[in-house]
């Protein structure tokens, strides 16, 4: 496991201009699963090849395909696929406004991955092989099982699902001390971006 030194990097992050300045929506299409939903294709002029492995290692349930230079992950109910050539697809969207919000999140992720790669260099094959995917069932074993809802999710298992998709941090549970929280973070993310 590698800690990217997230806390100490905030000042440096402010000084580095973001690599991905804009993701434009280039296509709006009907979603394949529901006629009431849309999917979009976003594009950026940046080549993203070197950032995909970093995102793959950071996002717990992500998949990475070296052959097609792409990685995919779930965010909320959306399947997001990022291609190294700068294309991003997002499914299951309510409208264009939601698409813009999700693409803003993707842009932020890419820029955080870029800061990581600038500081640590390209991801090595050894580091890539460190990835193990923890399921919500496995993550739930580390939670307090109070089902109190104080983390914003009504059950510990629901919170474990959010942890498994990278949408929440163990720090949101007030019953995990900082040591336990850090231990879970390390299980979820191979690197911190
Ligand atoms: S705050 Fe902690 S104990 Fe309460 S439901 Fe969330 S994860 Fe479970």
In the chain, domain spans: 7-128, 136-188
Tokens 């950026």 -> residue: 44
C-alpha–C-alpha distance, residues 164 and 8, integer Å: 25
Q: Whose CA is nearest to atom 8 of ligand 1?
A: 156
> Is residue 43 within 8 Å of residue 86, measured between CB atoms?
yes
Ligand 1 atom 3, closest CA: 146
Q: Kindly report, residue by residue over 124-182, the tens digit of the pLDDT.
A: 999 998 887 788 899 999 999 999 999 999 999 999 998 887 788 899 999 999 999 99
> To which CATH superfamily is domain 7-128 assigned?
TATA-Binding Protein (3.30.310.10)
Q: What would the two tokens of residue 17 be? A: 């201009």
Pocket test for ligand 1, best of 151, 152, 155 (most atoms within 8 A of CB): 151
Residue 121 corresponds to which tokens in the numbers above? 């260099």
Report which protein residue has its CA nearest ligand 1's atom 6. Answer: 151
**The model scores a pTM over 0.85:** no
Ligand 1, atom nearest to 152 Cα: 6
Structure tokens at 163: 């942890």
Does the beta carbon of 184 sit less than 6 angstroms from any atom of ligand 1? Answer: no
Output the six-digit token pair for 165. 């998709």
Q: Which of 4-8, 16-20, 75-79 has the highest mean pLDDT?
A: 75-79
pLDDT (mean) for 10-29: 83
Number of Cβ within 10 Å of residue 179's Cβ equals 7
Report the CATH superfamily, name and number, of domain 136-188.
Answer: Electron transport complex subunit B, putative Fe-S cluster (1.10.15.40)
- Ligand 1 atom 2: the closest Cα is on which residue? 173
């Amino acid at each position: 496991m590698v800690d990217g030194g997230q806390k100490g990097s905030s000042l440096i992050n402010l000084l580095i201009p973001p690599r991905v300045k804009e993701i434009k929506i280039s296509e709006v299409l009907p979603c394949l699963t529901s006629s009431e939903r849309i999917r979009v294709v976003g594009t950026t002029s940046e080549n993203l090849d070197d950032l995909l492995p970093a995102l793959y290692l950071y996002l717990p349930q992500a998949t990475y395909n070296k052959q097609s230079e792409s990685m995919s992950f779930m965010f909320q109910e959306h399947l997001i696929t990022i291609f190294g050539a700068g294309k991003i697809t997002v499914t299951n969207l309510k409208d264009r406004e939601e698409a813009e919000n999700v693409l803003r999140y993707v842009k932020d992720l890419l820029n955080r991955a870029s800061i990581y790669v600038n500081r640590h260099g390209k991801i090595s094959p050894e580091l890539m092989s460190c990835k193990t995917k923890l399921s919500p069932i496995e993550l739930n074993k580390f939670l307090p099982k109070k089902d109190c809802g104080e983390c914003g999710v009504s059950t510990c298992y629901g919170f474990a699902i959010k942890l498994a998709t990278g949408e929440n941090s163990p720090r949101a549970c007030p019953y995990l001390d900082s040591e336990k929280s850090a231990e879970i973070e390390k299980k979820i993310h191979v690197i911190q971006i």
